[in-house]
Structure 1
């Protein structure tokens, strides 16, 4: 299998070299445009910081001709409402950072492979994957399916872990536990394997649902757990790392097709820069977050052996990877 995996530095240099001196001069001739970007998480999360890096690089490379109006903390709506708007003509939102698992809900079967439990063994595994032809094929999937959006770049917000009001020590503690379950096969299969009760809850209502006892537990990357103050009401987190929080930033095709080649190059290069920025901060941010959580009274329980978790998830792993077994094997191969 032919792979095109570049070193990180070379990858960025290639992207930024899209801009010759003549191209930079010609940017002045471009009209000024403003693109609205939606983010469901606060700006201080890994996702929010990646978005901000993208915004700043776009505005720098375009010399202010392209402005990104970044709206964080779900101001523009939840993931589904934003996506529904972006798939329609004349959307007032052009860019959206979303999770791969959300794209799976809209029929992106290749993206669904990224959310199969225990697919990525490490962050390094994921970032090796992002520089491959396999990753590009998955990023192109929404456009190929006619969803009206185009994938721009990847990011990750850390491995996702369960957190709860009462301490969870093992897989056995999930039986009959009321857990917030997103409407995707991977999460539904995971909770079924853990023998938990899946309760649908909108992300915007997650805090209040935990606070009132509608649900007992949920799952998030550790940075989001802190930024959204979930630890104030659910002070227990178990580091099972069932999936990596893979992120894909998309743009409406209507917007993309209206851009000049120079403008497209700017967004592409800025996406590469933001992706690399995310890679740099993700691990270091997580370690700081863990320290902060402990200081604020949270209890972090490590998982030294994921075997019982993988065994509980055998059925959903088998079912999820069957969507495209060849492609899934390719994703796994980048761990080497």
Structure 2
């Protein structure tokens, strides 16, 4: 139950005092939710919202304890723990392809033309197939999803078409798919550890790099790059998941409460996500970066064959379908 803002001060103060002095009721069940994000990240704030909603909807019978900053373990360790029954929940994405090949669809370059297209996919038949396979193969149940910031290309000159990439030395993660896609687009991709990128841009070893706006901002790339080219070449999402063992211990009523809480947290995170995108762009513009619109269709068309050559046989027909939409 939420307290209306127009309650008089003395009622609110009395309620606060009562809450502070009332003995805490022990939860019947405690769920541990570990993730890799820090305390300011929308994923963490959404996790806290989820915990709050679960407590409210179960009358305090279920408590969700949230552990940020990998304090409960790294992503793969948490997934393994969920399969063993020692961890209840985490936030994870394409790493699940180690068990469920269709989870690779969470982060395929140029597969999703817009945030709306991605939402339609997640909530449609393709998304359902991904979730069913994750449940069956990984024994983990997705109960909500969060959008991730699209990856953009930064440089010291505007890039609007693939032709502008000729001769561009750029850093990419050490992922064959990324290397091959940027080669196909005409750039000269160089795999490199993220920790080396700033210095390499500064001394001219590379000319460009690609990452979401949040990382571009936090890494201070505005100090060594002048342009953000809105390639948005990878749109992706990540799931809030619960161990199937934990899920099966819940009553039908509590399963409903957990699912409803997760969907509220999902909507809450989306608002934070959109706000963070706007704030990151405003910050980077204020600190000297110019945002450049690109010919997204031209980039996607030129990247298509390299993308299809790097995905598994199982998901290739789905990727072809997504490119055709």
Query: What interval of TM-score do these two structures reach, taking the shorter chain for normalisation?
Result: 0.7 to 0.9
Could you report, residue by residue, the CA deviation over 1:146-201 in whole angstroms, capped at 9, with x for unpaired residues?
x232222222023222346x556364547573524254x64344234244434264
8 Å contact from structure 1 (residues 162, 240) kept in 2: yes
Task: Compare CA radii of gyration and give the structure with the larger one.
Answer: 2
TM-score (normalizing by structure 2) = 0.74
Aligned match for 2:37, one of 41, 58, 63: 41
State how far apart, in whole Å, the 2-side matches of 1:75 and 1:198 are.
32
Could you report, residue by residue, the CA deviation over 1:290-324 in whole angstroms, capped at 9, with x for unpaired residues?
112222x1514323312442244122333338634
**Counterpart in the other structure of 2:20:** none
**Counterpart in the other structure of 1:131:** 123
**Counterpart in the other structure of 1:305:** 295
Query: Closer, same or farther in 2 for the Cα pair 1:115/1:175, shift >3 Å?
Result: farther
Number of aligned residue pairs: give it: 292
Q: Higher mean Cα deviation, 217-226 or 255-264?
A: 217-226
Could you report, residue by residue, the CA deviation over 1:109-159 in whole angstroms, capped at 9, with x for unpaired residues?
3222342222222222222333324322212222222x2322222220232
The alignment's C-alpha RMSD in Å is 3.4
Task: Tell me whether 1:220 sits opposite 2:211 in the alignment.
Answer: yes
TM-score (normalizing by structure 1) = 0.72
State how far apart, in whole Å, the 1-side matches of 2:122 and 2:90 are.
19
8 Å contact from structure 1 (residues 43, 72) kept in 2: yes
| TM superposition shift of 1:90 | 4.0
Query: Closer, same or farther in 2 for the Cα pair 1:318/1:111, shift >3 Å?
Result: same
Task: Tell me whether 1:286 sits opposite 2:286 in the alignment.
Answer: no
| TM superposition shift of 1:279 | 3.3
Query: Closer, same or farther in 2 for the Cα pair 1:129/1:314, shift >3 Å?
Result: closer
Q: Secondary structure at the match of 2:91?
A: strand
State how far apart, in whole Å, the 2-side matches of 1:167 and 1:48 are.
36
**Counterpart in the other structure of 1:317:** 307
Aligned match for 2:28, one of 18, 31, 34: 31
| TM superposition shift of 1:71 | 2.5
Task: Tell me whether 1:102 sits opposite 2:98 in the alignment.
Answer: no
In structure 2, runs of 5+ residues without a counterpart are 1-24
Task: Tell me whether 1:253 sits opposite 2:244 in the alignment.
Answer: yes
Could you report, residue by residue, the CA deviation over 1:91-118 in whole angstroms, capped at 9, with x for unpaired residues?
3x3222123x3333x1433222342222
State how far apart, in whole Å, the 1-side matches of 2:322 and 2:297 are.
20
Q: Secondary structure at the match of 1:102?
A: helix
**Counterpart in the other structure of 1:264:** 255
Aligned ranges for residues 82-161 of structure 1 at < 5 Å?
82-83=78-79, 85-86=80-81, 88-91=83-86, 93-99=87-93, 101-104=94-97, 106-145=98-137, 147-161=138-152
8 Å contact from structure 2 (residues 34, 72) kept in 1: no
